[in-house]
Structure 1
Amino acid sequence: MRLFVHREEHANPEAIEADGSSTVGDLIGRAGLQNGGDADVTAWLEDADEPLDRGATLDEAGLVDGARLHVARRKKIEVSVRYAGETKTRDFRPNVHVQRVFKWAVGESGFDLPATERAKHTLAVCGAETEADRYAHVGSLASGGRVCFDLAPKARYQG
């Protein structure tokens, strides 16, 4: 099966061919984040609440062709969002999409923007010239276990 593996501090996933009888631990090793038995490294199915069992086979873990995973040393990423001179911070799992961070940032627990304003805004990595890919994993964008986003008007990045 072909799996798409996202890693810490790597914006683009790597396609890895694997057999269903390989273990999650084998996959972690192939992703290059483990030197033997580094038990701190975990693999997460995209947007899952818990990491996969390292001893489970890929078949036992329920992985299918085309599955997307995130392999990381950290189980939480500190995410900060800046807007209108204020910063809000919350921890997210490394396999969470930027789109989910956006929903939090514009929602009640974040900056509580009205629906009409939500549609006019986007997230960009702090200091970046373009919008963040809404399907990127926050762990892929993080450095040192942290990532910062600006909640900015979409018009800023268009044309």
Structure 2
Amino acid sequence: MTIRVYVQSEYLSDVQFVEVDDDATLHDLNGAALELLPAGTDVSELSLSIEDDQYDDEEADRPEVTHVRDLKKGHGIRIHLHRCKHVEVYVRFANETVHRKFRPATTVGRVRNWAGRKLGMEPGDIAEHVLQVAGTTEQPDVDVHIGTLARCPQCSLTFDLVPAHRING
């Protein structure tokens, strides 16, 4: 059986996908995903991360994942290829700044929820805010990987937590 895997990367302007057999190894998946990158891309420093993986690199209780079938979730498999193993994320709100390192495959939505909790916001208040890339008007969708917004070698990103646009009518 084949599985569709969605791929984001600092080198891709939009989400791409690749189909692999569910018995494929992570090494096989990595190879198939690398083929999506533009010709001439130096892939020697790229690492693969899994969307919203909640485990840190050194955690002893991290489950062993060796095959694509082990990655299946309700919303499909989403991965990220990036030169940075982590992205240092800063979120500014009401004269406060919180920061933490995340993997490149972490979604903007997960960062927003983490920052809101860290800043002491209630879940309903968090839902009424969006992350905006600092110094811009860009408000990435909640399913965008932060790695698509961060460039190597800086491996950092600053957001402002701002009220979401409300449409009355």
Calculate the TM-score normalised by the size of structure 2: 0.69
In structure 2, give the amino acid aligned to 1:102.
R
Q: Do the aligned partners of residues 53 and 43 (structure 1) sit closer, same or farther apart at CA in structure 2, a change above 3 Å counting?
A: farther
SS state at 2:109 partner: helix
Show the counterpart of 2:50: 45
Q: Do the aligned partners of residues 62 and 89 (structure 1) sit closer, same or farther apart at CA in structure 2, a change above 3 Å counting?
A: closer
Is it true that 1:134 corresponds to 2:139 in the alignment? no
Give the aligned length. 152
Query: How far apart in 2 are the matches of 1:71 and 1:50?
Result: 17
Structure 1 position 122, deviation (Å): 1.3
Query: How far apart in 2 are the matches of 1:35 and 1:26?
Result: 18
Residues 90, 98 of structure 2: 8 Å contact kept: yes
In structure 2, give the amino acid aligned to 1:67.
I
More divergent stretch after superposition (134-143 vs 15-24) = 15-24
Structure 1 position 11, deviation (Å): 5.2
Q: Do the aligned partners of residues 8 and 19 (structure 1) sit closer, same or farther apart at CA in structure 2, a change above 3 Å counting?
A: same
Structure 1 position 96, deviation (Å): 1.5
CA deviation map 1:103-150 (0-9, x unaligned): 12111x2x2235564343211122332422111111222122112211
Show the counterpart of 1:71: 81
Query: How far apart in 2 are the matches of 1:149 and 1:123?
Result: 6
Structure 1 position 62, deviation (Å): 4.5
Structure 1 position 10, deviation (Å): 3.7
Show the counterpart of 1:101: 111
Show the counterpart of 1:122: 130
Structure 1 position 14, deviation (Å): 1.0
More divergent stretch after superposition (92-101 vs 4-13) = 4-13
Query: How far apart in 2 are the matches of 1:70 and 1:115?
Result: 27
In structure 2, give the amino acid aligned to 1:95.
A
Q: What are the ranges of 5 or more consecutive residues in structure 2 without an aligned counterpart?
A: 58-62
Structure 1 position 47, deviation (Å): 1.7
Is it true that 1:29 corresponds to 2:31 in the alignment? yes
Q: Do the aligned partners of residues 106 and 43 (structure 1) sit closer, same or farther apart at CA in structure 2, a change above 3 Å counting?
A: same
Calculate the TM-score normalised by the size of structure 1: 0.72
